[in-house]
């Protein structure tokens, strides 16, 4: 039986320490399939989650700050994996929905997610892996990532 060859894979990374296992698996599959690899990180900015005790300096744009930090992490990861700058994406929105939307936009044939990662508020709504599995129109590989 021959191995299914994927042409374009999307890996959703949360930049947690656990994500290393996922990233290593994605790079390995990319090489085996000679596939294109796209990276996605979603900044899930929920203004109401920060509005409580946090007092921000006048003019401080928290959303922009989160995007800047994510862009730096994405750039470092992309360099390390040899992913072209055009294939590195940082988006703002709901994580599950954004992964599905970007996967559709790019027409990928495989989405890779970790089956465990950072939770935060999203844990109350169900895991990212589950919502991606439920909504995806292509194959999904949920890579078991050990808790660090």
Residues lying near ligand AMP in the complex (CB under 6 A): 12-14, 19, 22, 40-42, 44, 95, 113-114, 116-119, 122, 127-129, 145
Tokens describing residue 94: 């709901």
Give the position of tokens 């900015």. Answer: 45
* Closest CB 83 distance from ligand AMP, rounded Å: 15
Q: Which residue number, 35 or 98, has a Cβ lying nearer to ligand AMP?
A: 98
In angstroms, the first-to-last Cα distance of the chain is: 36
Work out how close the CB of 25 gets to ligand AMP at its nearest, in angstroms, rounded to a whole number. Answer: 11
Nearer to ligand AMP, 36 or 91 (CB): 91
Least Cβ distance, residue 18 to ligand AMP (angstroms): 7
Pair 8, 36: CB distance under 8 Å = yes
Closest CA to 92 of 53, 126, 116, 61: 61
How many angstroms separate the CA atoms of 50 and 58, rounded? 15
**Is the Cβ of residue 33 or residue 111 nearer to ligand AMP in the bound state?**
111
Q: Least distance to ligand AMP from the beta carbon of 57, Å?
A: 25
* Residue number of the CB atom closest to ligand AMP: 114
Closest distance of CB 61 from ligand AMP, Å = 19
Confirm if 11 and 37 have CB atoms less than 8 A apart: yes
Nearer to ligand AMP, 33 or 77 (CB): 77
Q: Classify residue 67 by burial, with Cβ atoms within 10 Å: 0-12, 13-18, 19+.
A: middle
């Amino acid at each position: 039986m021959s191995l299914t060859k994927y042409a374009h894979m999307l890996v959703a990374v949360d930049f947690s320490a656990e994500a290393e296992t996922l990233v290593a698996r994605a790079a390995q599959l990319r090489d085996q399939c000679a596939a294109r690899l796209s990276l996605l990180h979603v900044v899930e900015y929920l203004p109401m989650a920060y509005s409580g005790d946090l007092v921000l300096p006048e003019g401080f744009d928290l959303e922009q700050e989160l995007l800047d930090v994510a862009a730096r992490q994405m750039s470092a990861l992309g360099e390390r994996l040899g992913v072209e700058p055009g294939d590195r994406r940082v988006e703002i929105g709901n994580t599950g929905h954004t992964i599905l939307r970007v996967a559709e936009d790019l027409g990928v044939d495989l989405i890779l997610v970790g089956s465990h990662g950072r939770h935060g508020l999203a844990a109350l709504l169900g895991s990212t892996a589950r919502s991606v599995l439920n909504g995806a129109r292509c194959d999904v590989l949920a890579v078991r990532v050990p808790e660090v």
